[in-house]
Amino acid sequence: MNSAQRGGIVMMMLFWVLLIGLGTWWLDGGMEKILSPNAHIVQTASDGGPVTLKRNRSGHFQAPGEINGEPVTFLLDTGATYVAVSDQLAAQLGLKRGRSAWFNTANGRVQGNLTELDEVTLGGIRVNNVQGSISPGMDDNTVLLGMSFLHLLNIKIHSGEMILSLPDP
């Protein structure tokens, strides 16, 4: 066997090793971990202990949580006044529509309704009686976790991580 044939065999073996390695990484959720690093929040302390979130590939902080005990996906948004949900999600959660209000959004000015969220949970942080908004035209799968929730927390952003905690009593 000459050196050209050996080089071809080595290249073919290298190709298969890389293909199997990439397939294993993909099946193990490698891409999901890059796109959504907070899909499963790991809580080191219980009952209100700090929650650490990693910035996703888009530069945002997104994490699973709950509204009134129902699972949702939060997009943390310090530019949002309220915890904002879509019409469809509001109906699914059984939220009561309060007074009509106008909201300035990234997509322009829209009319929606205010609402009251009995309980909002992110990791071990649980807050009761949070003001929310029902906003038409929002993505049905994502809830904007706005300042009506976030202003109650200590927030630190450093090196691509956001650390959220309840203030000391």
pLDDT tens profile 119-162: 999 988 999 999 999 998 887 788 999 999 999 999 999 888 89
Q: Based on the domain organization, do 22 and 77 belong to the same domain?
A: no
Residue 112 has pLDDT above 90, yes or no: yes
Q: State the Cα–Cα distance between residues 167 and 152, nearest whole angstrom.
A: 8
| Nearest by Cα to 108 from 63, 138, 148, 144 | 138
pLDDT tens profile 81-91: 999 999 999 99
Q: Based on the domain organization, do 13 and 91 belong to the same domain?
A: no
Residue 132 sits in a domain whose CATH number is 2.40.70.10
Single-letter code of the amino acid located at 57: R
- pTM comes to 0.73
Q: How many domains does the chain have?
A: 2
Q: Based on the domain organization, do 106 and 60 belong to the same domain?
A: yes
Q: Based on the domain organization, do 76 and 23 belong to the same domain?
A: no
Would the CA dihedral through 135, 54, 38, 53 be positive or negative? negative
Which domain range does residue 57 map to? 38-165
pLDDT tens profile 20-71: 777 776 666 665 555 555 555 545 455 667 888 888 888 889 999 999 999 9
Q: Based on the domain organization, do 20 and 73 belong to the same domain?
A: no
